[in-house]
Amino acid sequence: MMKLSLTDLTALKQQHQRITMITAYDAPSARLADAAGIDAILVGDSAAMTIFGYDQTTAITLEDMLLLARATRRGTSRALLIADMPFGSVQVSDAETVTNAIRFVKEAGVDAVKIEGAGPMVRRIAAVIDAGIPVVGHIGLTPQSAIQLGGYKPQGRTAAAAERLLDDASALERAGCVAIVLEAIPQPVAAGITRALTIPTIGIGAGVECDGQVLVWHDMLGLTGDQGQGFKVPKFVKQYADLGHEIAKALAAYIADVQAGRFPEARHTYAMPADERERFETDHRK
């Protein structure tokens, strides 16, 4: 299968074909998603919680994200690879943001970076685009700014707030973003933004009228579980498998087999020639 290009995303929107995106953080997961035909893989800063066990995305570092992006690249061949620029990598200056974005391209081979926010962040995003690096925007609930937003809450629920989101989306398109993630906003607002833009919208908790959808790998596969931090799987997640339960069953069976001496069996061990075995046992027989 031929590798997708960023222009293919726009073509899919124009052809009214829905775009599929999933997060992944390592080579095996990326390989599975890629083989399944996913259009885009996002190395999300959600890894702060799903991989590293933090209670918020802001804890993950640039070096963490680069490590995960490099691993994910090694499992990706057809799908577009997009990486989140984590909190702290875009806040200081245009120049530092560009430098950090370049690292994702050079060291991890990503096709684009994703940057949260609009308003003052639009100029910073434009600087990255001017440096020749494609950017996916992200508005609505932006987890890196969750404290300022009053927590992990839906956005754009009043007419005025919805209008601001539309203005933000338009500003990001004018800045040159190749796509925009719309997170946790009412479906009518997302639909209006999607109609107003020529670039694709990727929804997560934004309704069915976006040009595509993205879900977090661990959420959709039932791997999130109880993280012991009051974490609840968001309302907008559809769980397509309960792999957490299956893993728990497998581990319980493994523990039981080891403790009962049922594993390993003869077929799981390596043999040695009979004469060599006899010589060894003779030499070490008490």
pLDDT tens digits along 31-87: 999 999 999 999 999 999 999 999 889 999 999 999 999 999 999 999 999 999 999
Q: Of 3, 35, 39, which Cα lies nearest the Cα of 19?
A: 39
Average pLDDT of span 253-272 = 96
Other C-beta atoms lying within 10 Å of the C-beta of residue 135: 26
CATH of 6-241, one of 3.20.20.60, 3.30.1330.120, 2.40.10.340, 3.90.120.10: 3.20.20.60
Average pLDDT of span 129-139 = 98
Which tens digits make up the pLDDT trace of 198-246? 999 999 999 999 999 999 999 999 998 654 445 577 888 999 999 999 9
Average pLDDT of span 135-139 = 98
Q: Which amino acid is at 26?
A: D
Judge whether 107 counts as a catalytic residue: no
Residues 6+ positions from 2 with CB-CB distance below 8 Å:
78
Element at 130 (helix H, strand E): helix 121-130
CB of 98 within 8 A of CB of 131?
yes
Q: Where are the domains of the chain?
A: 6-241, 246-283
Average pLDDT of span 88-110 = 97
Average pLDDT of span 82-106 = 97
CB of 26 within 8 A of CB of 65?
no
Which of 163, 173, 183, 276 is an active site residue? 183
Collapsing DSSP to helix, strand or coil, 273 comes out as coil
Looking at the predicted structure, is the pLDDT value of residue 151 above 90?
A: no
Average pLDDT, the chain: 93
> Taking the model in full, what pTM does it have?
0.93
The residue behind tokens 């799903």 is 50
Range scoring the smallest mean pLDDT among 35-39, 268-272, 280-284? 280-284
Percent of the chain past pLDDT 90, that is, above it, reads 85
State the Cα–Cα distance between residues 117 and 99, nearest whole angstrom: 19
Strand partners, 81: 41
